[in-house]
Amino acid sequence: MAVVKEFTKGLWKEMPPFRLVLGLCPTLAVTTSAENGLGMGAAVIFVLTLSNMLVSMMRHIIPKTVRIACFIVIAASLVVSLELLMQAYAYGLYEQLGIFVPLIVVNCIILGRAEAFAAKHGVADSIADGLGIGIGFTMALTFLGSLRELLGNGTLFGVQVFGDAFQPFTIMVKAPGAFICLGLILAGMNCINRWQSSRSEGEPVSVGCQACGACGGCAGCKPAQLKPMESKAKEG
Amino acid sequence: MDVITIFISAIFVNNILLAQFLGNCPYLGCSREKSVAIGMGGAVVFVTIMATLFTWLMQHFVLDTFDLGYLQTIVFIVVIAGLVQFVEMFLKKMMPSLYSALGIYLPLITTNCAVMGVAILVERKGYTLITSLLYACGYSLGFLLALLLMAGVRERLDTCRIPKMMAGTPIALVMAGLMSLAFMAFKGMAQ
């Protein structure tokens, strides 16, 4: 049962990047269409599941002091194999995703899960966690990609959805659309969280850097937590 | 291509954060205060230029010579991780004041995709060493600029009333979108 729980938590409760704000670069960059989002997600599932498995298998061998370097090397080897596989079997997608395929190495999600989960849990749990988080990430990317493609092109997976009268918002498939779309989705998630917590009277689930806690990779969190901004806000 | 065109292209037209989406984690995480933003931006400028130099040399004198192109990703990340470690040790020993200023940001840069992104980008475009270094300089200055602008905006945001559900990351992302919209106006000035 524990394995199932580890798997399902990635699908909604800890779904990156909507619930845990991790791995934003590929999320913003490749989601110009639903197809690209799905492809990127599949690539991340591959790397994340295998890296979780390998890290978990080697967790007793790796010395604590150099663990981050070891995790990065494991992830990098997997990404190299992924690149070769994609060049052989999915060259179109490889060209589409471009620079973001090698950049999976420095995706916060991979390192974050290795550090926060796989280094402390057994192999089966780690694989379940990797698969769950990977599938959650894929769903999020596909959703964002569909939304942007729908609004920006009027298509979904390349199929025309709206009639000729629809005037596409070209901005949605360009850079600004990515930021605005994701921002609004996160706001929507906050809204859902508050509604859920007010209904169950449970602890409110926070979205953002505070929730992840363990992102060895994500550069953001630590400095931000050092100096709370309340005092400054009051001055103004 | 002359130096000014390269700089305009790298800083404004192809801004690494707002047009190419590289390094967004520190963009949202380290943009709460201007001082933090300057520290992070400065560290990124330094490491990006160094990393581009070393990865370019590795690519041309090791990988290409021995026909090991497929190892690019793994070699680059190891070079960057080693470089960051080395820079940290060097600064600690030789320039303690700068070290304490950059402090916690240095180790975090290893996983900043801007650094690795620039290294791969200039490699894929096949630039010469000098052009690559100029691009690295321009891209990282663009990063610093965008980070600083965002920090300025977010310091003001702290004193504003915003809807509760938009507070924090969502409003920052929307601000980034608007900023990106403004940067789109530079398109056409250079490739």
User: How confident is the model over B72-129, as pLDDT tens digits?
Assistant: 889 999 899 888 888 888 888 887 877 777 666 777 787 788 899 999 999 888 899 9
Is A154 at the interface with chain B, CB within 8 A? no
Of B143, B152, B151, B166, nearest in space to B12 by CA: B143
Which of B29, B112, B171 shows the shortest C-beta gap to A223? B29
Distance from CA of B163 to the nearest CA of A (A): 9
Contact B181 A184 (CB under 8 A): no
Distance from CA of B3 to the nearest CA of A (A): 25
Contact B116 A106 (CB under 8 A): yes
Q: For residue range B114-126, what is the model confidence (pLDDT) as tens digits?
A: 899 999 999 888 8
Q: For residues A33 and B191, give the distance between their C-alpha atoms in angstroms, rounded to a whole number.
A: 24
Range with top average pLDDT, A4-13, A29-38, A162-171 = A29-38
Domain count, chain A: 1
**For the residues B145-170, what does the mean pLDDT come to?**
88
Contacts of B33 in chain A (CB under 8 A): 227, 229
Q: For residues A232 and A132, give the distance between their C-alpha atoms in angstroms, rounded to a whole number.
A: 40
pLDDT at residue A51 is higher than 90: yes
Is A116 at the interface with chain B, CB within 8 A? no
Q: Which residues pair with A159 in a beta bridge?
A: A156
The pLDDT value given to residue A229: 38
The pLDDT value given to residue A54: 95
For B51-77, letters b (16+ CB in 10 Å) and e give: bbbbbbebbeeebeeeeeeebbbbbbb
Residue of A nearest to B169 (CA): A208
pLDDT at residue A1 is higher than 90: no
Element (H, E) at B54: helix B34-58
Q: Are A209 and A218 in contact (CB under 8 A)?
A: yes
Task: Please give the residue range of the domain that contains residue A28.
Answer: 2-161+168-195
The pLDDT value given to residue A8: 86
